[in-house]
Every structure is written in structure tokens, then in C-alpha cells.
Amino acid sequence: MAVASATTGLTLPSTRRSPLGAAWRRYRRNWLAVAGLVWVAMFVILGIIGPWVAPSNYATTNFLAANQGPTWQHIFGTDNLGHDMFSEILWSVQNALEIAFGATLVSFIVGVVLGLWAGLKGGTADMIVMRLVDFMFAFPTFFMDLILVTKFGRGMGPILFAIGITGWAGYARLIRSLVLGMRNGEMVEAARALGATQFHIMRRYLFPNVMNNMIVALAFGIPGDLTIMAGLSVVGMGLRPPLPSFGNMIAAAGGNVLGYPWLMYFPAGIFAVTLLAFLFVADGLQEALNPKGGF
């Protein structure tokens, strides 16, 4: 591995080999991951500045310019209500990112708390949490999302909450298994022999050692949550129009894809590339943080 090569020659190995630095070096070697990161970074910047640079508001319609192909004025064309598709996409980026990071973070936090608790406590606590996890895995979560969105409305908040609260089972199961594997391991035993308290062991030993795996799992979760969000739109339960989202645009374009194909090309293309970019980033993180293979 990289460590061995650092000790060649007579000079002492550099002391600047922080784990983050090493991870970044491994990450950089994967050009797809770097490309993905560039796209994600652009996406994030667009998400922040999109509403300001968009030529028009997402709700602005213009019936005199409906169903136009790409022109210099509307570079991505317009839809049947005369929405400028370029503006729609710029506004959608923000919503997509809020779901991508927000919902995933909600799942992550719920999963980590429950999984850590189950793994450390064991016994009844473990039993209850893991049966709950089994239930979440057995029950179609998309259906649960639909129920929740139907109940609480089709705004950003309810959708974020619904996707977040149904997606934690995988994180819980992963962190529980990692903690179980370590809880009785020699590292923890050695720490206990040094007089470390349980809280200290959790904070300085267990948590940092499971974080690599958890971050990778988090990164893989993001494209999944984006897909669920778009899926809700496709079945008609996504963000309520005129709020823009990639799912809404794709779903609307599906009806007359033969007549106005550009309405499908641009949103679907950008959305697909974004999903791929997130996957490449996750894959790169996997390689960078878990060089030995990980979960």
C-alpha cells in the first residue's frame, strides 16, 4: 500500500500523512469520481445562485410562447404552458438538493442513533430496533412515502420528512453490525484496560472507526432519495406544481414525448447525469475511505 512506498530511501517518512490527505490522494486517482465531484459542485452552485440567474420565475407562464423548441430566447424550449424550461431547471436544482441532502441527513441521523443504541445496548433494545428495521425493509417504503405525502401535503417539508423518515433502516443495520463487530474486539478491550469509560470508547473509538463506512453509505443514499423524489412526481404525488422539480418536468413531458421531445431531453438528461455524478462520488469515496473493501 501507499504506506510502504513512503519509507523508501533513508529519509524518515513524512509526518504529514493525515488520513484525510491520504483519502484525497486515493480519491483523485479515480477520474470518474473527480468528474462526478465537479458536476455535483456545479449543481450545488447552481442550487444557490439559480433563482437569481434564472431568466424568469418558475411560475411565469407565457401562452404566446408555448411548446417552443430551443431558441436563443428559451435555450431549453418552453412547455405547454409557456414555462421557460431553462428557468424551471435552474429552480428545480435547489429543490432537488434540499431533498438530496436534507432527506438523506434525516435518514442518516435516525439510522445512526437507533443503530448505535441497538449495537451498544444489545438485548431487548437491539431486538426492538432490528425488528423495526426488518419491518421497514419488508414494507415497500415508496408506498409509505405516498401515504405520508398524501397525509401531510405535497410541499417541500412533507416530502423531505417522508423520504427521510422511511429511509433510515439501512443505516441502522449497517452501523449496528459495525459496532457489534467492534464492541468485543481487542481495540475496545485495550481501551478498557487503559481505564476508558464507555462514553469515551464510543466517542473516540467506535464512532471514528465506523464513520468511513457511514459516510460512504450516506453518499450512496443521496441518488436513491433523489430517485424516490422523482418517482413521487411520476405517480402524481411529487411537489405540487407550479413548484418545479425534475420529476414534475419529466412526468409532464412523458405525455407528449413524440411531439415535443426536448421537454424530456433536457430535464431527464440533466437529472440522469446528476444521479450518475452522485454515484461516481459515492464510489470514489468508497475507494478513498475504505481501501480494503468496506461494507
Residue 185 engages other proteins in binding (rule: CB under 8 A):
yes
Stretch of residues binding other proteins (CB under 8 A), selected from 75-83, 95-103, 204-212, 270-278: 204-212
Q: 31, 155, 204, 294: which one contacts other proteins (CB under 8 A)?
A: 204
Nearer to other proteins, 76 or 205 (CB): 205
Query: Cell digits for 29?
Result: 486517482
Task: Answer whether the bond into residue 244 is a cis peptide, omega within 30°.
Answer: no
| Residues of this chain, 208-247, that bind other proteins according to CB under 8 A | 208-209
3-state secondary structure of 78: strand
Nearer to other proteins, 138 or 194 (CB): 194
Nearer to other proteins, 182 or 268 (CB): 182
Residue 189 engages other proteins in binding (rule: CB under 8 A):
yes
Q: 128, 196, 202, 268: which one contacts other proteins (CB under 8 A)?
A: 196
Task: Check if the beta carbon of residue 25 is closer than 8 Å to that of residue 2.
Answer: yes
Per DSSP, helices labelled H in the chain are 2-6, 19-29, 31-53, 85-97, 104-121, 123-138, 141-152, 156-166, 169-183, 186-193, 198-200, 207-234, 246-254, 262-289
Cα separation, 244 vs 267, in Å, equals 11
Residue 123 engages other proteins in binding (rule: CB under 8 A):
no
Residue 186 engages other proteins in binding (rule: CB under 8 A):
yes
Q: 42, 109, 190, 272: which one contacts other proteins (CB under 8 A)?
A: 190
Q: 20, 49, 109, 187: which one contacts other proteins (CB under 8 A)?
A: 187
Distances in Å between the Cα of 13 and the Cα atoms of 1, 23, 25, 155 are 14, 17, 17, 55
Residue 64 engages other proteins in binding (rule: CB under 8 A):
no
Backbone angles phi, psi at 72, to 5 degrees: -65, -30
Quickly tell me which residue has 483523485 as its cell.
Answer: 28
Task: Check if the beta carbon of residue 89 is closer than 8 Å to that of residue 70.
Answer: no
Cα separation, 30 vs 34, in Å, equals 6
Nearer to other proteins, 144 or 196 (CB): 196
x-marked contacts with other proteins along 5-24 as a string, rule CB under 8 A: -x-----xx-x-x-x-----
User: Least separation, in Å, of the C-beta of 9 and other proteins?
Assistant: 15
Interface positions with other proteins (CB under 8 A): 3, 6, 12-13, 15, 17, 19, 184-187, 189-197, 200, 204-205, 208-209
